[in-house]
Amino acid sequence: MSLVVFKVGSSTLMGSDNELDLAFVRSLCSQMGVLRRAGNQVVLVSSGAAAVGRSLLGFTERPGDIPTLQACAAAGQTKLIERYAEVLAEDGIKCAQVLLTRGDVVDRTGYLNARNTFERLLDLGVVPIVNENDTVSVREFSFGDNDMLGAIVASLIDADLYVILSDIDGLYTANPDTHPDARLIDRVERVNSNIVAMAGGAGSSYGTGGMATKVRAGRAMIAAGIPMVICKGREEGALLSAVAGTGRHTRFEGSASMGHEQARKLWIGLAGLSRGSITVDDGAVHALERDGASLLPVGVTGVDGTFDAGDTVNVLDPKGQLIARGITRYSSDDIWRIHGLRLEVINRFWPERDDCPVIHRDELLVF
């Protein structure tokens, strides 16, 4: 038995008439039924509430203000979940709506409560249908896109596979719309600067993400030890093919030698809100990525933002590339005071911080 989390985007759900494509919804629900009858558990992360609400409320274009977008999401979420519930019920499947904001999982207690809810729903044979709670979500506590929401859910419940049903069949070496010679990449074992450069910007007028958000989700899943597949959602049987490992797709999966990160590290790296960033030198990059070391002050070259000890921060390499995320043991002001110094030097004028790294390796998720 496998636990599969899959995400479907607004551009895949909506038809050419700017309405929810009920035929596609039926196909999707039918595939979920096949997976369940084979003994699998499934969790659906579904975008589309704002797009459905936009049509429902008579907007022909995406509203530009947050209150109207949230009103569309509120109106559309009801219709969206009703359609899923009706079609799944025809196959004898019950579903439940789970609406999340990042604020629900940033707190460790909230994170564990959410996991317990998912586990109980699955034990009861119910399909959780997840979306961001766009009606109340504010920028600070927004996931930003459902690609990352799906990755957080997959890591939260320790899924066996995460599938993104997209409007493209995977990651290409260049934009296939403008580069006919672009090649589909079958497998990604490490998200480096070359992979990031291949990803473009936002996609359709419905969705908020593009390939860049999917690559970020892939990087998170590699760290979690959970395979992730990007495939074209409207291909016949796309979900079943992704689970079976067939069809055209890009699979993000680390090498066999890579282990799973601890649950606490995943919570820090995926759910935690970054309050700033720390830039490190090449030596520190090597120590973090190759040796599994803690981040020491001597390797820090810069600080961006204002944060306190105990906050989650990004760790950037000299080129500004995100390489890790962790909980800092110093404030931004204190890091400015001690950056570039060895611990034995710091101990002379700050003995109470004896041998204290900037970020301990047990509180650092290296991507």
Q: Is residue 261 part of a domain?
A: no
Q: Which domain holds residue 164?
A: 3-252
63-78: per-residue pLDDT in tens? Answer: 888 888 888 888 989 9
CA dist 239 and 234 (Å) reads 9
Average pLDDT for the chain: 86
The token pair at 51 is: 């797009």
Residue appearing with tokens 């890579």: 258
CA dist 161 and 3 (Å) reads 7
160-179: per-residue pLDDT in tens? Answer: 999 999 988 999 988 888 88
- Chain-centroid distance of CA 250 in Å reads 16
The token pair at 253 is: 């999966």
Looking at residue 139, what is its pLDDT?
Answer: 44
Q: What is the DSSP letter of 106?
A: H
Confidence class for position 54, pLDDT limits 50, 70, 90:
confident
Looking at residue 50, what is its pLDDT?
Answer: 86
DSSP string, 174-233: S-TTT-TT--B--EES---HHHHHH--SB-SSS-S-BHHHHHHHHHHHHHHT--EEEEET
Q: What is the DSSP letter of 172?
A: B
* Residues 224 and 325 grouped into a single domain: no
Q: Is residue 266 part of a domain?
A: no
Q: Is residue 181 part of a domain?
A: yes
Q: Is residue 314 part of a domain?
A: yes
Q: Domain holding 317: CATH number?
A: 2.30.130.10
Q: Domain holding 188: CATH number?
A: 3.40.1160.10
How many domains in the chain?
2
Crossing angle for the helix pair 66-90 and 49-56, to the nearest 10 degrees: 100
Strand order, beta sheet including 364-366: 300-304, 274-280, 312-316, 322-327, 364-366
78-114: per-residue pLDDT in tens? Answer: 999 999 999 999 999 999 999 887 666 666 777 788 8
Q: Which range is least confidently modeled, 8-22, 23-37, 132-146, 181-195? A: 132-146
Give the rounded percent of residues in the chain with a pLDDT score beyond 70: 89
Q: Is residue 105 part of a domain?
A: yes
Average pLDDT of 302-319? 93
Looking at residue 328, what is its pLDDT?
Answer: 94
* Residues 207 and 292 grouped into a single domain: no
Q: Is residue 260 part of a domain?
A: no
* Residues 236 and 326 grouped into a single domain: no
* Residues 215 and 296 grouped into a single domain: no
Give the rounded percent of residues in the chain with a pLDDT score beyond 90: 49
Query: Nearest 10 degrees: CA dihedral of 111, 261, 367, 334?
Result: 70
Q: Is residue 265 part of a domain?
A: no
* Residues 72 and 140 grouped into a single domain: yes
* Residues 232 and 348 grouped into a single domain: no
CA dist 2 and 22 (Å) reads 27
* Residues 196 and 83 grouped into a single domain: yes
Looking at residue 69, what is its pLDDT?
Answer: 84
